[in-house]
């Protein structure tokens, strides 16, 4: 490998100096619930799980969306190369819990090591990956260059650079070229990403957006059958993956809703972080709304708001809802959540204005009249009214969204073949 730029040498030196502080930082995060106390060793590159014999492919996605987007690729590797072991790493507790439930047999999950030299060395010494696949913008210098130095082949899928990241890397072009030049395969998310990589002097090999190609979210058929009688009494409006500051806006819109000749819909509110269930119940009480919590096995019958403070059940609610309000989009700083998940299940959706993480997808859906992007929650009223009455306008939106996502999913399913070619 060619000599590293000075900026990367300094980065390695700085992270080496800070290594003694890493356990303290992780302990503090664990006390705040942001790390799994029982698995902090994995963040330091230590694993209690033995490495399987033979070839091993390592796939990494930082958080929930990125790691779940890898599932079709994991399944393709297990199907096409059953003798190859698969390791999936992620960085958040929520992603770990969801992957534990959804990874196919034979795939291993671990927390990703922090990008400190000793943690990276222990991780790579233990797992010895033959191929490493990263998603979106995970550019950890010690991890990437350390793997490359050991002969690991590298792929970056759904590659993108935010405007801020692009500006930063533009000031460190030699570092960007050294890092990104370590990859054997870079498939960018869209044309804008291709332009940014080209401006940094980095060659890419085509388009691939792993947001597409995923299977529909799963749901327990018994749970669907149990809840269907509820939908016959009242249409369900779903608030999916909400964050603080959004619940209040959505509840206020419901309090003010009045549909002549019809009763109110049932609001099913799914917080992004289930531990917020109690706080949301208090928000409902403050507004004079009755609430029941799914985590307490309460029934949704007879309440104004059903708080689905559980993990992994969005597939259930997208199947049952007349309309979905996508969370992460009504307050700044989150960037929106995945509108393709309701589209795959024929559930019409609306969002707020803050969808930076999904801007291209929302732009395309909006151009196809397949989604509504609202300036604020107070603009929900006509969509809620449609959900209560006949829902024909919403059904048309859902059909267009489903057609859009099915076409893009078909394109994305060609990606696993490109990755399989890199497995020795």
pTM value is: 0.71
Q: Note the Cα 238 to chain centre separation in Å.
A: 19
Q: How would you label 153-191 residue by residue, b for 16+ Cβ within 10 Å and e otherwise?
A: bbbbbbbbbeeeebeebeebeebbbbbbebbebbbbbbe
Distance CA 19, CA 264 (A): 56
Is residue 327 within 8 Å of 242, Cβ to Cβ? yes
Residue 66 annotated among the catalytic residues of the structure: yes
Strand ranges of the sheet holding 56-60, from the earlier edge strand across to the other edge: 107-111, 85-90, 56-60, 131-135, 153-159, 185-188
- pLDDT tens for each residue of the chain, 424 residues long: 557 899 999 999 999 999 999 999 999 999 999 999 999 999 999 999 999 999 999 999 988 888 888 998 999 999 999 999 999 999 999 899 989 988 998 899 999 999 999 999 999 999 999 999 999 877 899 999 999 999 999 999 999 898 889 999 999 999 999 999 999 999 998 888 999 999 999 999 988 888 888 889 999 999 999 999 999 889 999 999 999 999 999 999 999 887 776 778 999 999 999 999 999 999 999 999 999 999 999 999 999 999 999 999 999 999 999 999 999 999 999 999 999 999 999 999 999 999 988 888 999 999 999 999 998 888 998 898 888 887 788 999 999 999 999 988 887 888 888 999 999 8
Q: Which of 66, 136, 313, 341 is catalytic?
A: 66
Domains in the chain and their CATH numbers? 6-210 (3.40.50.11720), 221-408 (3.40.50.2000)
Distance CA 144, CA 141 (A): 5
């Amino acid at each position: 490998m060619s000599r590293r730029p000075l900026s990367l040498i300094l980065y390695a030196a700085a992270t080496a100096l800070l290594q003694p502080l890493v356990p303290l930082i992780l302990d503090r995060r664990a006390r705040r619930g942001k790390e799994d106390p029982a698995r902090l060793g994995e963040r330091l590159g230590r694993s209690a799980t033995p490495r399987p014999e033979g070839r091993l492919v390592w796939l990494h996605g930082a958080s929930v969306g990125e790691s779940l987007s890898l599932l079709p690729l994991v399944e393709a590797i297990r199907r096409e190369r059953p003798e190859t072991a698969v390791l999936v790493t992620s960085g958040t507790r929520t992603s770990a819990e969801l992957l534990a439930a959804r990874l196919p047999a034979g795939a291993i999950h671990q927390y990703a090591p922090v990008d400190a030299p000793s943690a990276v060395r222990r991780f790579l010494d233990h797992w010895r990956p033959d191929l490493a696949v990263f998603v979106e913008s995970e550019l950890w210098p010690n991890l990437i260059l350390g793997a490359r130095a050991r002969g690991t082949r590298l792929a970056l899928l759904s590659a993108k650079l935010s405007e801020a990241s692009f500006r930063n890397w533009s000031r460190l072009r030699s570092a960007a070229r050294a890092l990104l030049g370590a990859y054997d395969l870079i498939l960018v998310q869209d044309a804008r990403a291709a332009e940014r990589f080209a401006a940094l002097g980095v060659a890419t090999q085509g388009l691939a957006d792993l947001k597409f190609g995923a299977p529909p979210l799963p749901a327990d058929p018994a749970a669907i059958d149990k809840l269907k009688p509820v939908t016959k009494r009242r249409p369900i409006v779903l608030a999916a993956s909400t964050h603080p500051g959004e619940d209040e806006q959505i509840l206020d819109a419901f309090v003010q809703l009045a549909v002549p000749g019809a009763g109110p819909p049932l609001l099913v509110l799914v917080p992004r972080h289930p531990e917020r269930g109690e706080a949301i119940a208090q928000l409902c009480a403050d507004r004079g709304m009755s609430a029941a919590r799914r985590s307490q096995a309460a029934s949704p019958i007879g309440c104004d708001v059903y708080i689905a403070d559980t993990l992994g059940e969005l597939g259930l609610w997208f199947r049952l809802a007349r309309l979905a309000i996508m969370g992460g989009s009504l307050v700044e700083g989150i960037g929106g959540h995945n509108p393709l998940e309701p589209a795959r299940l024929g559930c019409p959706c609306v969002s707020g204005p803050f969808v930076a993480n999904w801007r291209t997808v929302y732009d395309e859906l909006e151009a196809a009249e397949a989604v509504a992007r609202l300036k604020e929650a107070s603009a929900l009223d006509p969509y809620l009214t449609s959900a209560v009455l006949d829902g024909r306008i919403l059904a048309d939106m859902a059909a267009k969204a489903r057609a859009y996502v099915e076409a893009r999913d078909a394109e994305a399913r060609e990606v696993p073949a490109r990755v399989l070619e890199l497995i020795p």
